[in-house]
């Protein structure tokens, strides 16, 4: 069982509200990721971090922002939620092993966000 946690697990919120999705891991991993997943669709990388004070945008354009002030914590923020942000958000972490990059990515349980 991976030691990576996400809160809240479910969130229903009105349009225009600011929200922060929390993600924490206790494995000391340097790399962390945020993915967005719609039902029946593939995961899309929206943000990632190589370590403290490092954040990068992923493949899928997202209006969300992230921060990495501590190794174990990688929160995602939406300044003004819209119905188009309704989705499942998955956090993951990993460490690199050797030159083959066969690092294992451990996923949190996800946050199901609904914006009304």
Partner 1 sequence: KNQVEQSPQSLIILEGKNCTLQCNYTVSPFSNLRWYKQDTGRGPVSLTIMTFSENTKSNGRYTATLDADTKQSSLHITASQLSDSASYICVVSDRGSTLGRLYFGRGTQLTVWP
Binding site for partner 1 (CB under 8 A): 2, 4, 31, 40-45, 48, 50, 59, 90, 92, 96, 100-110, 112
Measured from the CB atom, is 79 or 104 closer to partner 1?
104
Residue 30 Cβ, how far from partner 1 at the closest point, in Å? Answer: 12
Burial classification of residue 43, based on how many CB atoms lie within 10 Å of its CB (0-12 exposed, 13-18 middle, 19 or more buried): middle
CA distance linking residue 114 with residue 83, whole number of Å: 7
Residue 16 Cβ, how far from partner 1 at the closest point, in Å? Answer: 27
Residue 79 Cβ, how far from partner 1 at the closest point, in Å? Answer: 25
């Amino acid at each position: 069982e991976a030691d990576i946690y996400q809160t809240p697990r479910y969130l229903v919120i009105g349009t225009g509200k600011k929200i922060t999705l929390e993600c924490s891991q206790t494995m000391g991993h340097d790399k962390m990721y945020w993915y967005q997943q719609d039902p029946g669709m593939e995961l899309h990388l929206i943000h990632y971090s190589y370590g403290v004070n490092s954040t990068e945008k992923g493949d899928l354009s997202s209006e969300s922002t992230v921060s990495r002030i501590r190794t174990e914590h990688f929160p995602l923020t939406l300044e003004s939620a819209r119905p188009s942000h309704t989705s499942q958000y998955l956090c993951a972490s990993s460490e690199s092993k050797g030159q083959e990059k066969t690092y294992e990515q451990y996923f949190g349980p996800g946050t199901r966000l609904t914006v009304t």
